[in-house]
A and B are shown apart, each in its own frame.
Chain A
Amino acid sequence: MNKEKNNKIKSRGDPAVSAAAVLTAVIFLVPLIWAAACSIKVEGSRIAGPMDWFVPPFTLKNYYDILFSSKVALWLYNSVFIAVLSVVLTVAVTSLAAYPFAKLAFSGKKMLYFYFIIGLVVPGEATIVPLFIVANQLNMLDSYAGMILPSIAGSMNFMIAVAFFRSIPKDMMEAARIDGAGDFRIFWSVMIPLSKTILVTISIFSFMGSWNNYLWPLLCAINEKMFTLPVGIPTFAMTYSVDYVKPMTANVVASIPAILLYLIFEKHISQGVSLSGIKG
Chain B
Amino acid sequence: MVAKKKSNWCIVLCFILPFLILYTLFTIWPVLFGVNVSFHKWGLMGKTGFVGLANYEKLVRDKFFWQAAGHTFIFVGLSVPFLVMIPFFLAVLANRPGSLRKFLRVSYYLPNILSVSVVSYIAVYIASPYMGFLNQFLHMTGILAKDAEPMWLSDTKLAWVTITAATVWWTAGFPFLLYLSVLQDIPEQLYEAARLDGAGSARMLFSITMPIARSTSLLVIFLEIIASFKVFGQIYLITGGGPGTATRPIIQYIYTTAFQKNNLGYASAMSYALFIILILFTLGQMKIQSGKELYE
Contact = CB atoms under 8 A, between A and B. Distances in A.
B11 A270 contact: no
A244 B131 contact: yes
Contacts, number: 294
Nearest to B9: A106
A25 interface: yes
B97 A106 contact: no
Contacts of B283: 121
A188 to B, nearest CB: 11
Contacts of A94: 19
A268 to B, nearest CB: 12
Given A104-B11, A105-B5, A214-B233, A149 B114 contact: no
Interface residues of A, number: 101
B116 A212 contact: yes
Contacts of A18: 96, 100
A130 B274 CA distance: 14
A251 interface: yes
A170 interface: no
Interface SS of chain A: helix
Given A9-B97, A10-B98, A116-B23, A129 B121 contact: no
Given A32-B111, A100-B15, A258-B115, 13 more contacts: A12-B201, A17-B93, A107-B6, A121-B279, A130-B30, A134-B25, A134-B26, A219-B255, A229-B115, A229-B117, A234-B120, A258-B114, A280-B286
5 contacts: A50-B136, A125-B232, A129-B264, A234-B237, A277-B181
Interface of B: 4-6, 8-9, 11-12, 14-16, 18-20, 22-23, 25-31, 33-34, 37, 42, 90, 93-94, 96-98, 100, 102-111, 113-118, 120-126, 131-133, 135-137, 140, 169, 174, 177-178, 180-181, 188, 191-192, 201, 216, 219, 226, 230, 232-233, 237, 251, 254-255, 258-259, 264, 267-268, 271-272, 274-275, 278-279, 282-283, 285-286, 289-290, 292-293
